[in-house]
Structure 1
Amino acid sequence: MSGARVKKAPTIVEIAHELGVSPSTVSRAFTAPRLLKPETVERIRAAAAERGYVPNVHARALSTGVPRTIGLIVPDIANPFFPPMIRAAQRTAEETGHTVLIADTDGDVEREKRTIERLTAQSESLIIASSRLPSAQLCELTARRRVLFINRDEPETARILVSSRDALGQCMARLLELGHERFVYVGGPEGSWSDGERRGIVEESLAGSGATLESMRIPSGTYADTMAAADQILAGSPTAVVAFDDVIAHAVIDLLHDRGVSVPGAVSVVGCDDTVALTTQPPLTSIALKVADAARLAVRTVVEGQVSEMLTPQRIALQGELVERATVAAVG
């Protein structure tokens, strides 16, 4: 008994010939669609689907010896800032036939170094978010590997910064306008580029204003440790607290409530990241950051060009937006 003949799937050359384009154009429609016109990508993919063509995602791995994977390293996967980044990176990578390998370093420098070594052997390129490595090691790393940094502003590297500078400056001007004179900045993990930027803009905004500023740090960045630091945060009787991120801001609101201090009646609170702002009571004024946009751009950047080439140094800063809600008010 003879079985039905299985129809052979067309090759990339056959698809290209039928559509009157080059094989490389067909390949780009699947691996680097942003290099082509949207209508070209749509025409090629539709024709490929109709004819049963499936792009060979293993071909490049066979020729380079490296699988079509991207290593994404973050310092704290449990922090609400990072899941939107991971999700956007994964979805963008899928569009180009890549897979994202995710690793969490827990903010530990030695673990980050080990993770980089491990993922380098498994990935075409690395995207490292909020790296804690010393500058000298970063320079050495980018000289030997295809690496892009998110939220680490190291000269002569490829980096994308999710910046709160403009929006936080606007927020500080608003707080001063509302009559605030005693400020506390509650910072996050030591060595964080984001913390340095946010602390810097708070200091710059208050310089020459006559307002006072107390700065402190919650090294772990956790809700629990922020709650435990209540006495230190409230020691100077602040009228406004600016937090490194929404997790810390959430804890500040709750510790103020526990002490019977009204928010924003007695103390205004501002967060940054806009990740949990709608779950606080009252809803938190925060800086909405373009985290997903940064992840998408990072993936598109690392998948273009030759795998054997290092990335061209460049600095891209994506500015956030102030979202005013219910935790900021004029001094009573």
Structure 2
Amino acid sequence: MASRRSAPEPVANAGRPTRAPTIHDVAAACGVAASTVSRAFSRPERVNAATRARVLEIAEQMGYRPSPIARALPSGRTTTLGLLIPDVTNPFFFNLIRGAERQAAAAGYTIVLADTDESAEVEATLVDRLFRAVDGFVLASSRLSDRQLRAAHARGPLILVNRRVSPVPGVVIDSTHGLRRATEHLVSLGHRKIVYLGGPRASWSDASRWRALQSACRRLDVDLVRIGPLSPTVEAGVAAADAVLLEEATAVVTFNDLLAIGVIRRLHARGISVPGDISVLGNDDIFGADFCHPPLTTLAAPIETAGRAAVDLLLAALAGDSAESRRQVILPTRLTIRDSTGPAPASSDARRHTRTPSAERTG
């Protein structure tokens, strides 16, 4: 009498390979082609219902998860979004990243983050490499030219943060009103000459802030001097502080808070009082701006809101909402007064130096 052979048992968890299972492992366990496994996940209507059920059951037992990129081949979607920023170590971008990630996760998307190192060349390379791997891009403080941004937008969904390039949609943190209030604050304290420490040469935000500060100073008849361009770092602020002193101004406004913190450090090292001898005012209100000594007067920006809004615009573009995806979202800044600004000193004896020409000047 022939022995009875039992039916094959389903694949058990104990049978999982030590490495991550592949589509070919699942196909071998099911006795079907790898293409059938692929269709079971991406095109279920093209697979027999019983076969698909067995593929999904065994895939679950083996711990197999299909690659988002592989699943995107037939559908054209990866459920991932690219977020490119110029400097991952800059605290300004922390909340931007958080806002973008939270909004993307709520919609079932994953953020792919890349650091462009303040380089237009690196940024262009990353956009090109990631173009087929993500469904769309958010470019924060992009260093690409207007022409490059329009070309990238023509290839696929693209949203800008802190950059305006028609017809590319975007989110702008507008410092115009905040800088007007900041100038009025300094003038009310008796300051009649201000130095502006500019940001990177390719920064759209820097150019916008410089124009706004020029306008405010002209209206209030304040002497304004520009020093820059500068890297938006603490180290650059330390190096620029000596140049600020040569201008014999009583107040300095910086492109961002990191530059302001660097200026305060250098002035303290030289025995110059902030704000007793010179007032310092930053931009962005980054984490830690209120921890430095003295706490920094600055323009607070809704950075996390900007990240959320950028992802909303990108998702609208992916959904085909042409009206919503063409929008420009404008977010205002507000002046936050702390201890780094105070009354202008009666004299400039503490900072009397030989005057040297500056990069730009307006009055």
Cα distance in 1 for residues equivalent to 2:171 and 2:234: 27
Cα distance in 2 for residues equivalent to 1:101 and 1:327: 38
Cα distance in 1 for residues equivalent to 2:318 and 2:211: 38
Q: Is the 8 A contact 2:200 2:206 kept in 1?
A: yes
Residues 47-103 of structure 1 show CA distances to partners (whole Å, capped at 9, x for unaligned) of: xxxxxxxxx996984652331000000001111101111111112111111100001
Q: CA deviation at 1:229?
A: 2.5
Which of the two has higher C-alpha Rg? 2
Q: Structure 2 vs 1, CA of residues 320 and 60 (structure 1 numbering), >3 Å: closer, same or farther?
A: farther
Matched, 1:172 2:183: yes
Cα RMSD, aligned residues only: 2.4
Q: Structure 2 vs 1, CA of residues 208 and 278 (structure 1 numbering), >3 Å: closer, same or farther?
A: closer
Matched, 1:286 2:275: no
Counterpart of 2:88 in structure 1 is 77
Query: Which one-letter code corresponds to 2:134 in the other structure?
Result: S
Q: Structure 2 vs 1, CA of residues 306 and 181 (structure 1 numbering), >3 Å: closer, same or farther?
A: closer
Counterpart of 1:188 in structure 2 is 199
Q: CA deviation at 1:328?
A: 1.2
Q: Structure 2 vs 1, CA of residues 266 and 195 (structure 1 numbering), >3 Å: closer, same or farther?
A: same
Cα distance in 2 for residues equivalent to 1:308 and 1:66: 14
Cα distance in 2 for residues equivalent to 1:257 and 1:160: 37
Q: CA deviation at 1:327?
A: 1.0
Amino-acid identity (%): 35
Cα distance in 2 for residues equivalent to 1:270 and 1:323: 10
Q: Structure 2 vs 1, CA of residues 309 and 64 (structure 1 numbering), >3 Å: closer, same or farther?
A: farther
3-state SS of 2:328 partner? strand
Cα distance in 2 for residues equivalent to 1:305 and 1:321: 30
3-state SS of 2:283 partner? coil
Q: Is the 8 A contact 1:60 1:68 kept in 2?
A: no
Q: Is the 8 A contact 1:126 1:147 kept in 2?
A: yes
Q: CA deviation at 1:187?
A: 1.0
Q: Structure 2 vs 1, CA of residues 237 and 181 (structure 1 numbering), >3 Å: closer, same or farther?
A: same
Counterpart of 1:321 in structure 2 is 334
Matched, 1:238 2:252: no
Cα distance in 2 for residues equivalent to 1:241 and 1:182: 9
> Which residue among 161, 169, 173 is the counterpart of 1:162?
173
Q: Is the 8 A contact 2:167 2:326 kept in 1?
A: yes
Q: Is the 8 A contact 1:218 1:225 kept in 2?
A: no
Query: Which one-letter code corresponds to 2:153 in the other structure?
Result: T
Matched, 1:212 2:200: no
Q: How does 1:1-332 map to 2 (within 5 A)?
A: 61=72, 63-275=74-286, 276-304=288-316, 306=318, 312-332=325-345
Cα distance in 2 for residues equivalent to 1:280 and 1:270: 13
3-state SS of 1:271 partner? strand
Q: CA deviation at 1:207?
A: 0.7
Q: CA deviation at 1:295?
A: 0.6
Query: Which one-letter code corresponds to 2:302 in the other structure?
Result: K
Residues 79-138 of structure 1 show CA distances to partners (whole Å, capped at 9, x for unaligned) of: 110111111111211111110000110111111100101121110010000111111111
- Alignment length (residue pairs): 281
| Segment of structure 1 superposing worse, 242-251 or 207-216 | 207-216
Q: Is the 8 A contact 1:146 1:309 kept in 2?
A: no
Gaps of 5+ in 2: 1-5, 10-65, 346-363
TM-score (structure 1 length as normaliser): 0.79
Q: Structure 2 vs 1, CA of residues 291 and 301 (structure 1 numbering), >3 Å: closer, same or farther?
A: same
Q: CA deviation at 1:304?
A: 2.9
3-state SS of 2:214 partner? helix
| Segment of structure 1 superposing worse, 220-229 or 118-127 | 220-229
